[in-house]
């Protein structure tokens, strides 16, 4: 036999109030009004994005891939649109020493190409690494999307890394249409959006949480871990997706920039 307590259920420390389903539904619907406004504003921003001016550049500039140097135009694979991620690179560093933030983005993009291609959009990853190092890394990570070295190539094909960038092709003419970095990259990192829906969020110090919630940690703290899954930037840590790779064992140094840490 169950009983209904006379007093409201006490709230565990650091958590929102405990209420009945009807009360929760009311609060949920109030928040939904704000969420829908946020969605509509996102749609308006996307519409403005599609109206940005474009920059034309020489599409014959060469990038280096598995078949050697090829013109940038080849990355379109005959399609009119191209979305790329510009992956940072540490020369001479072993796989575990590469950027965990770029690894996060590239990993989330791994299967996106199937849907982009179906919509007439090609995709690729560009990086400033030397091709032999890049090819080894791509094989280790198991990436299926095309990767290219843009070492010594000028912007907008080369230039700063850590960006999502979009291009449009009209015959042999090529245009830069959009580019973003930092938190602008988040839309492709689907796990971040899902974490934002969970009770504890991302667990990052900048987040606004209920009073009493455990202290958050540094931004992106969970993108790199040791063999036991502990988030760390330690001598045996590596980007989290790498632990799923065959042969990904602890090592003695991150090897970034050729130095021991």
CB atoms under 10 Å from CB of 141, counted, come to 21
Mean pLDDT over the full length of the chain: 92
Whether pLDDT at 175 is above 70: yes
Whether pLDDT at 224 is above 80: yes
Q: What is the mean pLDDT of residues 106-126?
A: 96
| Domains in the chain: boundaries | 55-182
Per-residue confidence at 260, pLDDT binned at 50, 70, 90? very low
Helix (H, G, I), strand (E, B) or coil at 159: coil
pLDDT tens digits, residue range 63-99?
A: 999 999 999 999 999 999 999 999 999 999 999 999 9
pLDDT, position 8: 57
CATH says 55-182 is which class?
alpha beta
Per-residue confidence at 201, pLDDT binned at 50, 70, 90? very high
pLDDT tens digits, residue range 22-67?
A: 999 999 999 999 999 999 999 999 999 999 999 999 999 999 999 9
Whether pLDDT at 213 is above 90: no
Q: What is the pTM of this model?
A: 0.90
Which residue from 214, 227, 69, 235 is spatially nearest to 152, judged by alpha carbons?
A: 69
State what percent of residues in the chain have pLDDT above 70.
Answer: 93
pLDDT, position 164: 98
Pairing of strands 163-170, 173-181: antiparallel
Q: If you count DSSP H runs as helices and E runs as strands, how many of each does the chain have, helices first?
A: 5, 10
Better-scored residue on pLDDT, 162 or 245: 162
Per-residue confidence at 259, pLDDT binned at 50, 70, 90? very low
pLDDT tens digits, residue range 122-152?
A: 999 999 999 999 999 999 999 999 999 999 9
> Distance from first CA to last CA of the chain, Å, rounded?
61
| Residue reference for tokens 């042969």 | 247
pLDDT, position 98: 95
Residue 161 to residue 115: CA distance in whole angstroms: 24
């Amino acid at each position: 036999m169950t009983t209904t307590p006379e007093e409201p259920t006490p709230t565990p420390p650091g958590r929102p109030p405990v209420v009945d389903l009807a009360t929760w539904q009311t609060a949920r619907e109030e928040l939904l009004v704000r969420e829908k406004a946020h969605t509509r504003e996102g749609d308006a921003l996307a519409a403005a994005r599609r109206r940005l001016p474009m920059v034309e550049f020489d599409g014959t500039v060469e990038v280096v891939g598995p078949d050697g140097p090829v013109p940038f135009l080849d990355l379109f694979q005959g399609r009119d649109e191209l979305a790329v991620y510009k992956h940072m690179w540490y020369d001479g560093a072993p796989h575990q020493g590469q950027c965990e933030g770029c690894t996060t983005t590239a990993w989330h993009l791994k299967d996106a190409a199937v849907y982009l291609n179906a919509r007439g959009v090609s995709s690729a990853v560009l990086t400033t690494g030397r091709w032999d190092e890049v090819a080894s890394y791509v094989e280790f990570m198991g990436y299926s999307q095309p990767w290219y070295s843009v070492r010594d190539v000028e912007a907008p094909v080369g230039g700063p890394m850590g960006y999502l960038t979009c291009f449009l092709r009209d015959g042999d003419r090529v245009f830069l249409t959009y580019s973003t970095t930092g938190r602008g990259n988040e839309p492709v990192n689907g796990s971040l959006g899902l974490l934002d829906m969970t009770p504890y969020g991302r667990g990052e110090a900048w987040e606004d949480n209920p009073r009493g919630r455990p202290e958050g940690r540094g931004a992106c703290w969970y993108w790199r871990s040791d063999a036991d899954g502990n988030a760390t930037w330690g001598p045996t840590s590596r980007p989290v997706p790498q632990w799923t790779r065959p042969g990904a064992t602890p090592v003695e140094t991150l090897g970034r920039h050729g130095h021991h840490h």
